[in-house]
Amino acid sequence: MNSRIRWLRNQLTSLDLEGMIVSNPINVKYLTGLDEEGTFVITPKENIFITDSRYTESVNRHLTLDDEIVVFNMNEMSKYDYEGIFMTNESVGFEENYVTYAEYMKMLQRYQVELTETEGLIENQRVIKDEDEIESIKKACKITDDAFEHIKKFIKLGMTEKEVAFEIDKYMVTHGAESTSFDTIVAFLENASMPHAVPSDRRLRSKDMIQLDFGCKVNGYCSDFSRVIFIDEIDDKMKEVYDFVLEEQMKIADGLKDGANIKTVIKDRETDYKLENETIMHSFGHGVGLEIHESPILRARQDCIIKENTIIAIEPGVYYPNNFGIRIEDTYIVKRDGCRPLTTSSKDYTVIKLS
């Protein structure tokens, strides 16, 4: 049995829970290493992975005896098999933030137990990364930085946002990434005023600016990264906004050291935004790991101490509707003296002459 499952079993004991039903596939992967669809059930006696005929072959290829995980095929399970999983009808943990209301009602009936909310038990454990996890994220960050270098040479006037986005995706996937970690954002000038712009057929023109936001996955672990490219020239207003955003990012990265409270660090940033009359359109960042958005969220209401080896994306941004927007983002690792960037592309003004 691996250390993560052993840790969870100890937690369940101290929470007075007879076991736990883990449904969130990301948590299942974290605990078991399995990518296949299924439910991971911890009982006093056993660790059970309940899957279906589509996945039994592939699950059996991946698991070894050392995993101490029993595989059940749900296509062969009766009502009584489910009821027999837990010995008593005592309290069993479930993931209230993942399980739908309908699934909750079905689980109650199926397992005949009392279900107790676990309040992000596994998600909270996932915040601090071990060496292997950090190594995977570093690899994803390296591919991401390389993709940025590549795209700077690739862009030409007349290209569409879609074409640029596709080239970024292709570069990452053909250079060691399993996949992108989210839908790549490429937004030219006026489209950059929307933080979640979707690449369109808008063509690149002289004096545009480009907002890029992308990342990739290695061993299931994500990177997250945003940069701005100025085409042909950079005007004074954009320069000013760029400087402001970059300074905010650096202040957050300095502030978020092991033991710091997120609330304190972010409150100061909100004050900066107010002084500049800027609106805060989204959080200042978020944890990164098996999911692109994980705990903690960098918001002033997050009264939470950050710890060493937390991986976070810091991404302040400023947006002017129908005009332009600027966001700078890097994936960082939290250390005792502040955050160290894992994406390391230059943050000097990137101006590319294309005319």
Contact segment (CB under 8 A) with a second copy among 213-221, 241-249, 274-282, 306-314 equals 274-282
* 146 makes contact with a second copy (CB under 8 A): no
Residue 270 Cβ, how far from a second copy at the closest point, in Å? Answer: 13
Could you say whether residue 158 binds a second copy (CB under 8 A)? no
Q: Does 264 bind a second copy (CB under 8 A)?
A: no
Residue in 67, 51, 48, 87 with CA at minimum distance from that of residue 4: 67
Q: Which two tokens stand for residue 89?
A: 């009808």
Distance of alpha carbon 259 from alpha carbon 8, whole angstroms = 24
Query: At closest approach, how far in Å is the CB of 57 from a second copy?
Result: 5
* Residues whose CB falls within 8 Å of the CB of residue 229, separated by 6 or more in sequence, listed in order: 152, 155, 209, 210, 212, 350, 351, 352
Q: By the 8 A CB rule, do 325 and 317 touch?
A: yes
Q: Is 100 in the site for a second copy (CB under 8 A)?
A: yes
Piece of the chain touching a second copy by CB under 8 A; list 148-156, 171-179, 229-237, 335-343? 171-179
Shortest distance, position 36 Cβ to a second copy, whole Å: 8
- Which H or E run includes 63? none
Phi and psi at residue 299, in whole multiples of 5°?
Answer: -130, 155
Q: What is the DSSP letter of 261?
A: B
Q: Which of 208, 206, 207, 183 is nearest to 193 (CA)?
A: 208
Cβ–Cβ < 8 Å for 29, 220: yes
The set of residues, in sequence order, having a beta carbon less than 8 Å from that of 10 and lying 6+ positions away, is none
Choose which of 64, 65, 80, 101 interacts with a second copy (CB under 8 A).
101
- Tell the residue number behind the tokens 């004050």, with chain if given: 271
Question: Residues 109-128: x/- map of binding to a second copy (CB under 8 A)?
Answer: --------x-----------
Tokens of 173: 């996937």
54 or 340: CB nearest a second copy? 54
Q: Cα angle at 238 between 237 and 243, to 5 degrees? A: 100
Determine if 78 is a binding residue for a second copy (CB under 8 A).
no
Q: Extract the tokens encoding 132.
A: 């292997």
Choices 84-92, 126-134, 222-230, 279-287; region in contact with a second copy by CB under 8 A? 279-287
User: Considering the rule CB under 8 A, would residue 198 count as an interface residue with a second copy?
Assistant: yes
Among 3, 14, 277, 322, binds a second copy (CB under 8 A): 322
Q: Do the Cβ atoms of 85 and 48 come closer than 8 Å?
A: yes
Site string for a second copy, 302-321 (x = CB under 8 A): -------------------x
Instruction: Please tell me whether residue 340 binds a second copy under the rule CB under 8 A.
Output: no
Nearest to 250 by CA among 309, 336, 343, 329: 329
Q: How far is the CB of 49 from a second copy (least distance, A)?
A: 16
Which two structure tokens, joined as six digits, stand for 232? 């042909």
**74 near a second copy, rule: CB under 8 A:** no
Using the rule CB under 8 A, which residue among 57, 66, 131, 337 binds a second copy? 57
Contact residues toward a second copy (CB under 8 A) are: 35-37, 53-55, 57-58, 94, 96-102, 104-105, 117, 162-163, 166, 170, 173-174, 179, 183, 193-198, 279-282, 321-322
